[in-house]
Structure 1
Amino acid sequence: MMIRNAAPWRVAAAVGSLMLALVLAAPVAARQQAQPEAVHSAEGITEYVLDNGMRVVLFPDSSKPVTTVNVTYLVGSRHENYGETGMAHLLEHLVFKGTPTHGDIPGGMRQRGIRYNGTTSLDRTNYFASFATSPDTLEWLLHMEADRMVNSHISREDLDSEMTVVRNEMELGENEPVMALVQRILGSAYTWHNYSNLPIGARSDVENVPIERLQAFYRTWYQPDNAVLVVAGDFDPVATLQIVADSFGAIPRPERTLPVSYTVEPPQDGERSVTVRRVGKTPYLGIAYHVPASRHPDSSALAVLQQLLVHTPTGRLHRALVEQGKATGAFPVDLSLDQPGLMMLIVEAPEGSDLDALEAQLVSLLEDTAAEPFTEDEVAEARQRLLTGFEVAMRDPNAIGIALTEAISQGDWRLLLLGRDRVEQVTADDVNRVAAAYLQHSNRTTGRFIPTDAPERVEIPAAPDAATLLEDYQGREAMAAGEAFDPSPANIDARTAVSTFDNAAELALLAKSTRGEAVQVRIHLYLGDEDSLGGRATESQLVPAMLTRGTEGLDRAAISRRLTELKSTLSTGGSTNVASLVATTDRENLPALLELAATILRRPTFPESEFEQLRTQMLTGIRSAMTEPQAVAASAMNRYFDQWPEGHPYRSLSFEEQIEAIQALELEDLRAFHRDFYSTANAAIAIVGDVDAGAVQAQVDELFGDWSAPVAFTRIASPHFTRPAVREQLETPDKANAMLLAALPAPVGQQHEDYPALVLGNQILGGGTKSRLYDRVRQREGLSYGVGSGFSASALDESGTFTIFAIAAPENMTAVEAAIAEEIALLLEEGIGEDELREAVDGMLESRRTSRANDSELIGQLANNLYLDKTMADAAKFEDDLRAQTPESVLAALRRHLRPADISWFLAGDFAAAEGKEPTRVEE
């Protein structure tokens, strides 16, 4: 439940995302159950209903060897009663604690290489799992989910051990200025409805909830007639239905009747306001208007309206506020809900802004749209952006499997398809009508209250129920699926063609049939050398961000419109001596996308107005980070281990030095950097997907095969570097959460004989959710919401680093640090068990297989292979090296390189305020 100031676009996902052994435990039936009958089908997706009322949605597609399973319970924070806020979220944590049959659910997931998570929102709780295609894993997972549906412990002991973890997650939200603002806006906008409460709940409720109430809540809502199972991706539908029938189908329909939510929020009768005052650097404005439930026909027009307002760079708020320097960003908070919700927008402002003037202009832009109605051209462009996003998502059945759960929480999975159909029909008249209907001052919640003698009320119409709405809905023809692809290293090498062009650029091309004829593109440009890049590191960071803000013949808005026309996405990024371009498209639009990519990379225009926007945004982000524990600890650690002299391209700068460097930068500095360094000489280009290989190779050669720069690329070595161990504790006042980071350099690169053993040793210590640090610090002692370790090593230098991280309340940090140190000592003293090692190896191998099965991850491996002069055979050899490790070899490598006395520790938090507080640790 985190929202980061430097990345406000994560808000929607963050808010959207937060948002006893039982007497009648249901054992799995010994005999096979009858398969359920289909009740709805559309576009390759089919719904079935079990006799116990559970719904099952299957979306088979074998084009990508990945399977995704979602179990959605139709219970969220709006279903909680007085004194029970946060209960749905608490249950999300506790059902991972196990059942009498499945005692270690995280361990079982990790052993099988399953990527999993649980999320709680206002309307639903969802459990997600994704893994490389495996019928055995799917069967295990479905039986486990059926088991924990009714047989989870939900014990006092588990609640006690998890309590501090949940409090820690709550403190993460309290650290975030935008999250705090969103919470207050919801609390002010809703007088009676439970949408006023975010899923994290009130601290007093979470800390004092009786276990009996939590168990009753679990028995009420975690039942088959209140759950929807979605299985998407690569699986056998017939076999899967039989497993579902044998596992979930064996659970009897409960005798209880589900509680009915009948509270209706009355029309708002005047402007409402809220103010939050906390330590920080960046001011924000939030504004919200009541709107209908997501099923209502107006929701599609409202979605287009939101695009027209906040899209970057064409939205009206961006053009009027950001481009004019009055704000540094404008973004939405997604609250598409089962019952009437909110259209909420957040504006980020520069430090010292006149918020009165900014709010007045914001209100005028939103509530005076009649003065400048939206045109058909504007609406068509916004509409197409939404449709392109849907089409891109439909190319990945696993992504759609997740999206279906949100539609399910709103009444029916088919609402996702109906919403797309409705968006296609939205006109300018529709958008102007909903803007006039809902964006009214009496329906507004901001930071102000203004009385009026003539109150106005916006009546929010009721949405039709999903069954009536979808009674005759058929959907469209299902999107064409791709081939069943074997993600083994040998097959990937056999299917990948590598070409080298005249300027030494290389192309790795993997042609295969994909769902929706999807294509992934990645380009890595390698820039300059140690001498030429000296003193120019700041330019290297800003140039990639400027590439898509204007290029020959296209300004930023025109680039955005062109990508929408091509049903494609494209982003640029980079570091000191590497620039990258990442794009997704389809077979038909790939040639045009490559043309656009070449124009963006080779002929950027660096507009002055965009440069000033970017400079302001970066300065705002740095100033925001200066008070955040995570950023403060990371900066201290990076600065301490900085081995580079002043002016070196790898030199780590303090916050103040970063600000000074950005303020001193001139636009011509960026243009000169691009002229001097950018080229595709020695570039690594990777393309994966449904392509005409010969045509693509010829086009890439034509676009990039002749591009060189005045300064050739030479790799900058990063040798091993050590410093004496230190412990730094830094104060970040008024922050409820603290951060711990620790580091230990090691003279080990990826070619070192100890590298595979150290990778496995780290995995066992803290490399996942079933590791020693996680089990001790989070699961058993409940001190931290997040804790773990990492080991990274250079592919070309004998240089590596162990890292450790933990987030916790400041008063818990002493206990967290001690627990981490003790676990490291125990690992080095007692060693590793054979079973523990095998679980780590199996989990890593399955995770790597899953990565190869996802084209968006595989393409990065192919691009890196070009640079490193490797093939997937090297990946296969590394996996063989992992399999060859023994408990003795891993322990010996750890003892050689993981030296506790040499670890440096960096902690940041409000330790002064925490002094004297009792630790919230739960003792065993």
Structure 2
Amino acid sequence: MSAPHRLAVPLALALSLALAGVHAEPVRLPQGASAGPCVEGICEYRLGNGLRVLLFPDASRPTVTLNLVYAVGSAQENYGETGMAHLLEHMLFKGTPTNRDIPAQMKKRGIDYNATTTLDHTDYYASFPADEATLDWVLALEADRMVHSDIAKADLDSEMTVVRNEMESGENSPLRALYERVRSTAYLWHHYGQSTIGARSDVEAVPIERLRGYYRTWYRPDNATLVIAGRIDPQRTLAAVARSFAAVAKPAQPLPAFYTREPAQDGEREVTVRRVGDLRLLMSAYHTPAITHADAAPLAVLDDVLGHIPGGRLHKALVAGGLAESVGVGADALRDPGLFSAQVALAKDGDSAKAQQLLLAQLEGIGAQPVSAAEVDAAKQRIRNAYEQAYTNVSGVAMGLSDPIAAGDWRLYFQFRDALEKVDADAVNRVAKTYLRASNRTLGRFEPSDKPDRVEVPQAPDAASALKGYVGKAAVDAGEQFDPSPANLQARTQTVTIDTGVGRGLKLALLPKKNRGGTVTFSANFRFGDEASLRGREAAGSLAGSMLMRGGAGLSREQIDARFEALKTTARVGGGLQSASIGLHTRREQLADAVALAAQLLRQPAFPETEFEQLRRQAIVGLESQRREPDALAGQALAKHFDPWPAGHPLRARSLDESLAQIKAIKLDELRAFHRDFYGSAEGEIAVVGDFDPETLKRQLQALFAAWKPGHAFAPIATHYTAVAPEQRRLETPDKANGVLIARANVALKETDADYPALVAANYILGGGMKSRLGDRIRRKDGLSYGVGSDLDADSSRDGRDDAGSWSVQAIAAPQNLDKVERAMREELTRLAEGGVAADELRDAVSGLLTQREQARASDATVAVLLSRNLFFDRTMQFSADLDAKFKALTVESVNAAIKRSLKPQDFSVYLAGDFAAGDKPAAAK
């Protein structure tokens, strides 16, 4: 349900905030409520019981996102309580006397929901198409479970294995394990050093009375902030909040105060984690001030200067230099002093001593090689672009404010953004020399010293002092109120075919509309190659596409990155076996230049030798790292068993060793030859959605793409249903606490089949989320798995013949529980095959599916994908409208008949992977 801990990332990139226009007129306050500050379209209110309410109206997207932030996380846990905040997050989905089955109610209404627990806060969020009744229901639910959640012993017992499984899934990650050990070593006393998932002993032994006491202590209106963003009427919404929450009493007992401060570190520290794996990792962390301190902004810029890829100092020194495969940097921006950390990944046989020496030299040697003004300007531009792009995505506003709220005040987001603009090279060099010092480092080594060198992290002012006199900037203009129904999408879309003399020509779907910030999404796919011409060139086709943004059109990889940043554009130019693609998210003013640059990169790649070797090393290390991963081994076994293709076929499944051999043997000239022999842009599909001029763009697209013909004409490779005999395999993966189950059976199915809508609904009921038959049985009732679900894959083709469908189930669990998971899965498959679905299940499934489809069409990126698929398959948006109608027309009889025709439980192959040997040992021997 939640990621138990988040790796440190720059605040500018971690907070996805959208800005909107200010309220058109003052909001009348409910009785007992008061108004707070408004900044850039967001206004604060407070109820008489202390609940803060932030309203952010935006009419340009037909959705609403609600986020209830409690100022409690792992930092508020005492001895014996570690993991309690996260455990409570799970328990609040177990129900109240009024709302017994919360996941079922959410699913029935088509609400996208989840919760997260972090160091300083716990969030419960929901997103749904704008609807007053749904908003009222969610508000009533949150007010109800704020104080009336059952927190029952039986629910705690059933959820315990699920939480343990979530803990075990994290233990499989070498980076997460190392990160947690570094944090726990860096902090002696402050609870930022303890993992949000908690100690296993605390989680397993927590008395229910203590968990209830923790709930009563922290879940209260004066410790919560409710954020509501999207298509809302502020007046009505505030009144609705008051109706649900005003009656929730503020406890007489004040909130607990925490006063522990981490003392200055007095020497280098080191920690070593030894586990089975195929990567070497290094991490170095340094104590730094809280977000309200003046040094936080230059530290965020330093983060980008060091960690940006490909222009950052660490990437250039370690990855481009051939010593490492990847690097990362993160600067905490928290309520209390956090960590500035850098991590490096090396191949198993990499020179870790040399990499460590160079890493520390880059971090702690900035005094000898100061950061330049040009580096600072480039970093600030990238951060500025990230902020500006976030402004156009109002759906992220509710979640983006969580960290600033927990740090003391939501307006810190804006103040921090403004502080970044004032950072110069002197400030960046000063904080680097102040904090990135050996005596303040946690790599893990402690050595006595006659002259301790200690870094005193200064006390940061409180949020009120830091924000004194702050008013923020002007709000960003909003776009039009757009109706994303299939009929309106079709009516607003211009479809054009450019006859290029190649295949079906170049098809365009252009949907101009006014967006917040003038944003536009550009998606292009260019087709080439057939089965015969592609034989033996699979690796070259894959790697050639990965090289397109690593140098071309006279620009280096770093220059390409800088050019797109200057154009305020998020760009992706790549390719695969039968297609090349361009994906852009940009602004109206930059669209033409961004498209022109992407076209140049597609047509004029440089294929630099150094970047090729870097890419090859990364691919090799990535494959090697999968050798002992349960999900990778199970997936490879399944792929091999279900592979219908003969040796030499372009689509034939390849083992890890075969893939490694291909990558190790391939030459750069093979990539150049693949691009020369296959690439072209005269056949394909381009979909553009957002703020642009269609006529101008059409002329540009014809000039850029119509004349470049592919070397081999495109012909889709046909795929057909193949019967596969069932098999069962157990795959041993030593020292992996989390295991996996993957099951699959082939089904003759395509998207245009009459049974397709019925089977989609059946799969939604079987394994479509936590509230499903598999979720109810394996997670909620049996408490065996943190994550379980099913997928239905249907084929599609232009001629309507391809029918290579499949039904699959996936689950994670402790290895000793995988046999129980398999038994439960087979029982649920049999129950569905023999008993079918019930009327209430089908009603809720159809409601949830239709709501999800409606909400998906509110995203420009999703619409661009839909329009592009329509072009490829010769469809219109009527296909989506017809599918919606077919869902609405489903009956229990039609769904159950389709299930009987397609679901054969005995045909499923099952693959279990995990450390079964360790699971078979007695507890004392583990």
TM-score w.r.t. structure 2 length? 0.95
- Residue 360 of structure 2 corresponds to residue 363 of structure 1: yes
Which of 849, 868, 873 is equivalent to 1:844? 849
- Residue 292 of structure 2 corresponds to residue 295 of structure 1: yes
Which one-letter code corresponds to 2:118 in the other structure? S
SS of equivalent to 1:609: helix
Match of 1:483 in 2: 480
After superposition, the Cα gap between the structure-2 partners of 1:228 and 1:171, relative to the gap in structure 1 and judged at 3 Å, is same
1:712-757 Cα shifts (integer Å, max 9, x gaps): 1110011111211000110111000001000000111111111111
1:131-182 Cα shifts (integer Å, max 9, x gaps): 1222221111111111111111111111111100000000011110000000
Match of 2:741 in 1: 740
Task: Kindly state the Cα deviation for residue 672 of structure 1 after the two structures are TM-superposed.
Answer: 1.1
Measure, in 1, the Cα distance between the counterparts of 2:523 and 2:531. Answer: 25
Match of 2:918 in 1: 913
Which of 810, 825, 836 is equivalent to 1:831? 836
Match of 1:533 in 2: 534
After superposition, the Cα gap between the structure-2 partners of 1:584 and 1:229, relative to the gap in structure 1 and judged at 3 Å, is same
- Residue 55 of structure 2 corresponds to residue 58 of structure 1: yes
Task: Kindly state the Cα deviation for residue 68 of structure 1 after the two structures are TM-superposed.
Answer: 0.8
Task: Kindly state the Cα deviation for residue 294 of structure 1 after the two structures are TM-superposed.
Answer: 1.4
After superposition, the Cα gap between the structure-2 partners of 1:862 and 1:9, relative to the gap in structure 1 and judged at 3 Å, is farther
Which one-letter code corresponds to 2:395 in the other structure? N
Measure, in 2, the Cα distance between the counterparts of 1:561 and 1:13. Answer: 19
- Residue 177 of structure 2 corresponds to residue 180 of structure 1: yes
Measure, in 1, the Cα distance between the counterparts of 2:192 and 2:573. Answer: 38
After superposition, the Cα gap between the structure-2 partners of 1:802 and 1:667, relative to the gap in structure 1 and judged at 3 Å, is same
Match of 2:867 in 1: 862
Measure, in 2, the Cα distance between the counterparts of 1:337 and 1:11. Answer: 10
Task: Kindly state the Cα deviation for residue 10 of structure 1 after the two structures are TM-superposed.
Answer: 7.8
Measure, in 2, the Cα distance between the counterparts of 1:136 and 1:580. Answer: 42
Check conservation: 2:6, 2:118, Cα contact below 8 A.
Answer: no
Check conservation: 1:308, 1:379, Cα contact below 8 A.
Answer: yes
Which of 297, 313, 316 is equivalent to 1:316? 313
SS of equivalent to 1:53: coil
Measure, in 2, the Cα distance between the counterparts of 1:11 and 1:683. Answer: 41
Check conservation: 1:34, 1:242, Cα contact below 8 A.
Answer: no
Measure, in 2, the Cα distance between the counterparts of 1:536 and 1:36. Answer: 68
Which one-letter code corresponds to 1:770 in the other structure? K
Check conservation: 1:367, 1:436, Cα contact below 8 A.
Answer: yes
Which of 348, 351, 359 is equivalent to 2:348? 351
Listed as ranges, the matches of 1:419-434 within 5 Å are: 419-434=416-431
Measure, in 1, the Cα distance between the counterparts of 2:276 and 2:720. Answer: 40
Match of 1:635 in 2: 636
Which one-letter code corresponds to 1:839 in the other structure? D
Which one-letter code corresponds to 1:476 in the other structure? K
Listed as ranges, the matches of 1:206-605 within 5 Å are: 206-333=203-330, 335-503=332-500, 504-605=505-606
Match of 1:807 in 2: 812
The percent of aligned pairs where both chains have the same amino acid is 49
Measure, in 2, the Cα distance between the counterparts of 1:654 and 1:2. Answer: 33
Q: Which moved more, 1:851-860 or 1:314-323?
A: 851-860
After superposition, the Cα gap between the structure-2 partners of 1:96 and 1:43, relative to the gap in structure 1 and judged at 3 Å, is same
SS of equivalent to 1:138: helix
Check conservation: 1:110, 1:769, Cα contact below 8 A.
Answer: no
- Residue 898 of structure 2 corresponds to residue 893 of structure 1: yes
Check conservation: 1:35, 1:245, Cα contact below 8 A.
Answer: no
- Count, aligned residues: 901
Measure, in 2, the Cα distance between the counterparts of 1:802 and 1:139. Answer: 37
1:850-890 Cα shifts (integer Å, max 9, x gaps): 10001122211111111111111101101111111111111
1:229-259 Cα shifts (integer Å, max 9, x gaps): 1111111111111110111122111111111
Task: Kindly state the Cα deviation for residue 334 of structure 1 after the two structures are TM-superposed.
Answer: 5.1
After superposition, the Cα gap between the structure-2 partners of 1:574 and 1:101, relative to the gap in structure 1 and judged at 3 Å, is farther
Check conservation: 1:811, 1:918, Cα contact below 8 A.
Answer: no
SS of equivalent to 1:853: coil
After superposition, the Cα gap between the structure-2 partners of 1:573 and 1:139, relative to the gap in structure 1 and judged at 3 Å, is farther
Check conservation: 2:32, 2:48, Cα contact below 8 A.
Answer: no
After superposition, the Cα gap between the structure-2 partners of 1:857 and 1:13, relative to the gap in structure 1 and judged at 3 Å, is farther
Task: Kindly state the Cα deviation for residue 708 of structure 1 after the two structures are TM-superposed.
Answer: 1.2
SS of equivalent to 2:744: strand
Q: Which moved more, 1:700-709 or 1:359-368?
A: 700-709
Across the aligned residues of Structure 1 and Structure 2, the Cα RMSD in angstroms comes to: 1.9
Q: Which moved more, 1:801-810 or 1:717-726?
A: 717-726
Match of 1:23 in 2: none
Check conservation: 2:795, 2:804, Cα contact below 8 A.
Answer: yes
TM-score w.r.t. structure 1 length? 0.96
After superposition, the Cα gap between the structure-2 partners of 1:2 and 1:562, relative to the gap in structure 1 and judged at 3 Å, is farther
1:29-64 Cα shifts (integer Å, max 9, x gaps): xxx953833211011111111111110111111111
Match of 1:729 in 2: 730
After superposition, the Cα gap between the structure-2 partners of 1:12 and 1:784, relative to the gap in structure 1 and judged at 3 Å, is farther
Check conservation: 1:3, 1:178, Cα contact below 8 A.
Answer: no
Measure, in 2, the Cα distance between the counterparts of 1:10 and 1:296. Answer: 21
Which one-letter code corresponds to 1:199 in the other structure? T
After superposition, the Cα gap between the structure-2 partners of 1:574 and 1:824, relative to the gap in structure 1 and judged at 3 Å, is farther
Q: Which moved more, 1:651-660 or 1:329-338?
A: 329-338
- Residue 59 of structure 2 corresponds to residue 74 of structure 1: no
- Residue 860 of structure 2 corresponds to residue 877 of structure 1: no
SS of equivalent to 2:279: coil
Check conservation: 2:3, 2:116, Cα contact below 8 A.
Answer: no
Q: Which moved more, 1:282-291 or 1:467-476?
A: 467-476
Match of 1:902 in 2: 907
Q: Which moved more, 1:453-462 or 1:36-45?
A: 36-45
Q: Which moved more, 1:325-334 or 1:438-447?
A: 325-334
Check conservation: 1:35, 1:241, Cα contact below 8 A.
Answer: no
Check conservation: 2:721, 2:803, Cα contact below 8 A.
Answer: yes
Q: Which runs of 5+ in 2 are unaligned?
A: 15-28
SS of equivalent to 1:600: helix
Check conservation: 2:742, 2:910, Cα contact below 8 A.
Answer: yes
After superposition, the Cα gap between the structure-2 partners of 1:917 and 1:680, relative to the gap in structure 1 and judged at 3 Å, is farther
Check conservation: 2:836, 2:899, Cα contact below 8 A.
Answer: no
Which one-letter code corresponds to 1:648 in the other structure? H
Measure, in 1, the Cα distance between the counterparts of 2:6 and 2:645. Answer: 34
Task: Kindly state the Cα deviation for residue 544 of structure 1 after the two structures are TM-superposed.
Answer: 2.0
After superposition, the Cα gap between the structure-2 partners of 1:536 and 1:493, relative to the gap in structure 1 and judged at 3 Å, is same
Measure, in 1, the Cα distance between the counterparts of 2:137 and 2:355. Answer: 55
Which one-letter code corresponds to 1:494 in the other structure? A
SS of equivalent to 1:400: helix
Task: Kindly state the Cα deviation for residue 13 of structure 1 after the two structures are TM-superposed.
Answer: 11
Which one-letter code corresponds to 2:781 in the other structure? R
Measure, in 1, the Cα distance between the counterparts of 2:672 and 2:709. Answer: 16
Task: Kindly state the Cα deviation for residue 448 of structure 1 after the two structures are TM-superposed.
Answer: 3.1
Task: Kindly state the Cα deviation for residue 575 of structure 1 after the two structures are TM-superposed.
Answer: 4.0
Q: Which moved more, 1:503-512 or 1:824-833?
A: 824-833
Which one-letter code corresponds to 1:553 in the other structure? G
Q: Which moved more, 1:860-869 or 1:82-91?
A: 860-869
Measure, in 1, the Cα distance between the counterparts of 2:60 and 2:32. Answer: 25
1:653-677 Cα shifts (integer Å, max 9, x gaps): 1111111000011111111111122
Measure, in 2, the Cα distance between the counterparts of 1:314 and 1:9. Answer: 25
SS of equivalent to 2:536: coil
Measure, in 1, the Cα distance between the counterparts of 2:404 and 2:206. Answer: 31
Which one-letter code corresponds to 1:767 in the other structure? G
Measure, in 2, the Cα distance between the counterparts of 1:772 and 1:442. Answer: 55
